[in-house]
Amino acid sequence: MASIILIGPMGAGKTTVGRQLARRLRRTFYDSDREIEASCGVDIPTIFDFEGEAGFREREERMIDDLTLKQDIVLATGGGVVLREQNRRCIKSRGIVVFLDVNIDVQIERTSRNDSRPLLKNKNAREILLEMNRTRDPIYRSVAHIHVSTSRQSHKRVVDKICAVVEKFETQQQLKETVESP
């Protein structure tokens, strides 16, 4: 079975859904942001403070390359993972990519619950999130194999949808491989 890689904006529920999905599918769960923090011993805001976004993106690219080489996992990525071409190549070619989408009002509600999001710190969250959406949404869509909205749905319902769609996707891929093999 292919790894499942969750992409989407901050507040879409990638980590929460990812944990539940991994439990349901009996797979190991990884969160790329938590793995970056563990590897360098400091949290993401501290990395941004010392290295800026560019330094963080370098660390993220190395971590995505490492994590996407693992088999049969569920991986939750950071919202900006799709900004680098190398990350897009890794995730698209090494797993089933699920774009978790969320509407702006739900996103604002969810992201306001914690203050550890450096890109929103001391700024107008709505404006920043809308701009990120304008820039990133087309990229998420171009990378994703599957698109699921998490707005106003229980995490269990989202996990159910992902499981159903992934099963269909894997069946189609197996049929495709059977037809294409000599």
Is pTM, for the whole model, over 0.85? yes
Task: Answer yes or no: is 146 within a domain.
Answer: yes
Q: Which long-range contacts (CB under 8 A, 24 or more apart) does 52-55 make?
A: 53/80, 53/118, 53/119
Task: Answer yes or no: is 158 within a domain.
Answer: yes
Task: Answer yes or no: is 179 within a domain.
Answer: no
Task: Answer yes or no: is 118 within a domain.
Answer: yes
Q: Taking phi first (over 0 means left), then psi (-120 to 50 degrees means alpha), and beta for anything else, what does residue 35 get?
A: alpha
Summarised one tens digit per residue, pLDDT across range 7-63 is: 999 889 999 999 999 999 999 999 999 999 999 999 998 998 999 999 999 999 999
Task: Answer yes or no: is 173 within a domain.
Answer: no
Write out the residue range of the structural domain in which residue 17 sits. Answer: 4-162
pLDDT for position 169: 76
Are 47 and 55 spatial neighbours (Cβ–Cβ below 8 Å)?
Answer: yes
Task: Answer yes or no: is 172 within a domain.
Answer: no
Summarised one tens digit per residue, pLDDT across range 152-174 is: 889 999 999 999 988 887 777 76
Q: How many domains does the chain have?
A: 1
Instruction: Compute CA 145 distance to the chain's CA centroid, rounded to the nearest angstrom.
Output: 13
Summarised one tens digit per residue, pLDDT across range 116-151 is: 666 666 678 788 889 989 999 999 999 999 999 999
- Say how far apart CA 126 and CA 117 lie, in whole Å: 14
CATH number of the domain encompassing residue 23: 3.40.50.300
Task: Answer yes or no: is 122 within a domain.
Answer: yes
pLDDT for position 105: 86
Task: Answer yes or no: is 170 within a domain.
Answer: no
